[in-house]
Copies of this chain bind each other. A is one copy, B any other.
Amino acid sequence: MTSPPYEIVYYHGVPGRGEHIRLILEEAGVPYNDLGALGWEKCGEYVNAYLKGHGGNPPYFAMPMLKHGDLIINQTPNILLYLGSRLKLCGSAPDDLYRVNALALTALDGLSNEVHDCHHPIAIALYWEDQKEESMRRSKEFVKSRLPQHLDYWERALKSASEGSHGPNPGPWLMGDTFTYADLCLDGTTFAFPKALAQAKESGKYKLLFQHYDAVKARPKIASYLASDKRQKYDWGVYRYYPDNDVVAD
Contacts and interface: CB of A to CB of B under 8 A. Distances in A.
Contact of A105 (B75, B121, B138, B175): B75
A146 B160 contact: no
Contact of A121 (B52, B99, B101, B122): B122
Contact of A61 (B59, B106, B121): B106
A105 B123 contact: no
Interface stretch (A161-169, A215-223, A237-245): A161-169
A182 to B, nearest CB: 9
A98 B81 contact: yes
A93 B124 CA distance: 35
B166 A57 contact: yes
A209 B99 CA distance: 33
A162 to B, nearest CB: 12
Given A71-B98, A105-B78, A166-B53, A58 B134 contact: no
A99 B73 contact: yes
- Oligomer copy total: 2
A31 interface: no
A174 interface: yes
A108 B142 CA distance: 22
A101 B73 CA distance: 9
B160 A58 contact: yes
A53 B134 contact: no
Given A138-B122, A141-B125, A81 B106 contact: no
A145 B125 contact: yes
Contact of A71 (B81, B95, B160): B95
Interface in A68-93: 71, 73-75, 77-78, 81-82, 93
A75 B113 CA distance: 14
Contacts of A78: 98, 101-102, 105
Given A81-B81, A121-B138, 20 more contacts: A53-B157, A56-B93, A56-B166, A58-B99, A58-B103, A58-B161, A58-B174, A60-B106, A61-B110, A62-B106, A71-B95, A71-B98, A75-B102, A78-B98, A81-B101, A113-B113, A121-B121, A122-B138, A122-B141, A134-B134
7 contacts: A53-B166, A56-B165, A58-B175, A59-B157, A73-B99, A74-B102, A123-B141
